[in-house]
Amino acid sequence: MELIQDTPDLSAYLVADEVIDHQHPLVRETAARLAKGAADSYAYARAAYDFVRDTIPHSADSGDPRVTWRASTVLEQRTGICYAKAHALAALLRAEDIPTAFCYQRLAHDGGSGHVVHGLVAVRFNGAWHRQDPRGNKAGVDARFSLGGERLAWVPDAESNEVDYPVLYAEPHPVVLSVLKAAPDRSYLWKTLPTAL
């Protein structure tokens, strides 16, 4: 699949904003701590990915009812669904000048009776974009950081009307962000998750 930037301006994928608040002290402190042990930007990106994937539980796996969406809040509260974890990872990567985009999949949900949009990031290395899924591993899910072939949590099944969206967004998709901001808790969020972009 060819990944398509929603803007040709690569600097748009480094921007800090209300959601990807990589100027926040907690984001900067976390990035600095991770960067200390990294030999180069690739090693840093892998360390940031592992940190978000492994130390911030997906709230559905942990049963945490809180809904987070701002990167610094995800890092502070150590919880979030796929979108929130993608926001946190993007902030950590952008804090170290690694272009990071938001991308999405449409996956079967509720035993196949419906669909839900799943959030990922893509990082730019060596002139190409590479999708990464920081959702968090569990039984049946073994996502890994990789620039040599995707190691995502799920591969969409076309027969189940699942899709990979090819667009790389410089900002979180507005449909995703509005749902996160409107949800008072995860049980409410689960009823309002977007089914498509």
Q: What is the pTM of this model?
A: 0.97
Question: Once rounded to an integer, what is the mean pLDDT over residues 188-196?
Answer: 95
The reported pLDDT for the residue numbered 125 is 96
pLDDT value at 109 more than 90: no
CB burial of 50-89 (b: ≥16 within 10 Å; e: otherwise) equals: ebbbeebbbbeeeebebbbbbbbbbbebbbbbbbbbbbbb
pLDDT value at 94 more than 70: yes
Q: Which fold has domain 4-192?
A: C8orf32 fold (3.10.620)
Per-residue confidence band for 135, with pLDDT thresholds at 50, 70 and 90: very high
Per-residue confidence band for 50, with pLDDT thresholds at 50, 70 and 90: very high
Question: Once rounded to an integer, what is the mean pLDDT over residues 13-19?
Answer: 98
HSE-CB of 105 using CA atoms within 13 angstroms? 25
